[in-house]
Amino acid sequence: MSSSHYDLITVGGGMAASALAKCMAESGAKVLILEQETRFRDRIRGEYLMPWGVAEITALGLYELLCRECAQKIPWIDLGMGGPPREFTTTTAQQQPAMGYSHPEMQEVLLTAAEHAGAEVRRGVTVQGVEPGEPAVVIAASGKNSERISARLVVGANGRSSQTRKWVGFELTKEPNPFLICGIVLKGVATRDDIAFVQFNPEIGTVATIFPQTKGRFRVYLGYPSTMNYRLQGSGDVKLLFSEFARTAPVLAPFLTSAECIGPLASFEADDFWVKHPYRNGVALIGDAAATSDPTHGQGMAISFRDARVLRDHLLASPDWDRAAHAYASEHDEYFAKCHTAGVWQRQVFQEQTPEARLRRQKAMPLIAEDPTRVPDYLFSGPDLPMDDSVRARFFGEV
């Protein structure tokens, strides 16, 4: 075992890690990124960044880079509620479009940018343990070699299955959601590439989405209750995905008539799970490692970029990194709680299949059809919008 010391080490080199590492390296910190993959591949992850997430990448100084290297703006969305599509740049709090990209391409762009900013990047290295303390220590393995590396701050950014949580003793709170989401990348989808489609079908509790990426590719998702008599998994289920997609959103089905599958197909649980106060004793968590949200609502990347931005801001504002990381963790608790509540409200009105939910819809849906602004704009404009009982009552048609 050899040893060395850094200001900051990230466990994982995904989007959250690379965004933070780039900013910290630019400001002069000695940064090390440890990423197990030697090449990123399609794991079926987020590729549609909400307008409030676009505001976060702007604040991180990543907007121009992503637009130039791998992303495209998607200013329009059709939520299947009748009427014309919505234009985000004039209707969101941030006046920003949404953005689309291939997730692995975006990861490569951000990791390369972090390296160019001065961060040391080691790929093919798996972190096997993290010891909190002053300094915190990471145990990194590559082939038969193992190394103890210390840092003022270790940042666990190793995704939804983060082991860092377990090694450091963070407790996970889990809210089960009896729902699955299945994704696939297609080419040959017969629609424009500047508009996204999201259609809930409350009667069968499903949701169908089409998100454009660059280079003529489209990410298609089907969200469905886990009580369905199937779990879509593997290329053999492409046909069933297409037919369930058509059952959910008949008006979108013609777009897929000549589409061809160009990536893996898999389903994921849609539970929310999170750590309260994601910092302790020299180890912070960011991105999905800190809080994983229901992918149906497409909030994960915006939250992950916000985590990177908020932690960066606190670290740059104070020489006392212990205090700075505690401040990040407190702020994280606040905005994630609001994202979580917004997701629960969405599910209760649009997705749940209980008799109570049907009654709720009978009350809420006609009013929403008359005035779509009754649906609070958290998913697109983010958790800084006011959230209180009056907003909920208006959404649920109780006023």
What does 338-370 look like in DSSP terms, one character per residue? HHHHHHHHHHHHHT--SHHHHHHHHHHHHHHHH
Q: How far is the CB of 360 from ligand FAD (least distance, A)?
A: 26
Cα separation values, 379 from 48, 114, 303, 347, 373, Å: 12, 28, 11, 12, 13
Give the residue with the Cβ less far from ligand FAD, 13 or 364.
13
Gyration radius of the chain's alpha carbons: 21
DSSP H or E run through 90: helix 88-91
Give the residue with the Cβ less far from ligand FAD, 29 or 182.
182
Q: How far is the CB of 393 from ligand FAD (least distance, A)?
A: 28
Q: Which residue has the tokens 């160019």?
A: 116
Residue 311's nearest CA partner among 298, 287, 327, 328 is 328
Q: How far is the CB of 156 from ligand FAD (least distance, A)?
A: 9
Q: How far is the CB of 36 from ligand FAD (least distance, A)?
A: 4
Give the residue with the Cβ less far from ligand FAD, 20 or 364.
20
DSSP H or E run through 174: strand 172-175
Both tokens assigned to 30: 């000695």
Give the residue with the Cβ less far from ligand FAD, 307 or 352.
307
Please report the sign of the dihedral spanned by the C-alpha atoms of residue 298, residue 302, residue 308, residue 313. Answer: negative
Longest pairwise C-alpha distance within the chain: 67
Give the residue with the Cβ less far from ligand FAD, 111 or 375.
111
Q: How far is the CB of 362 from ligand FAD (least distance, A)?
A: 30
Q: How far is the CB of 365 from ligand FAD (least distance, A)?
A: 25
Give the residue with the Cβ less far from ligand FAD, 44 or 329.
44
Q: Which residues bind ligand FAD (CB under 6 A)?
A: 11-17, 34-37, 44-49, 126-127, 157-159, 163, 181, 183, 268, 287-289, 295, 298-302, 304
Both tokens assigned to 238: 């492409």
Give the residue with the Cβ less far from ligand FAD, 54 or 368.
54
Q: Which residue has the tokens 């450091």?
A: 168
CA angle, 40 then 41 then 42, to 5°: 135
Q: How far is the CB of 385 from ligand FAD (least distance, A)?
A: 17
Cα separation values, 132 from 35, 152, 153, 316, 319, Å: 20, 10, 9, 21, 19
Give the residue with the Cβ less far from ligand FAD, 73 or 392.
73
Q: How far is the CB of 257 from ligand FAD (least distance, A)?
A: 24
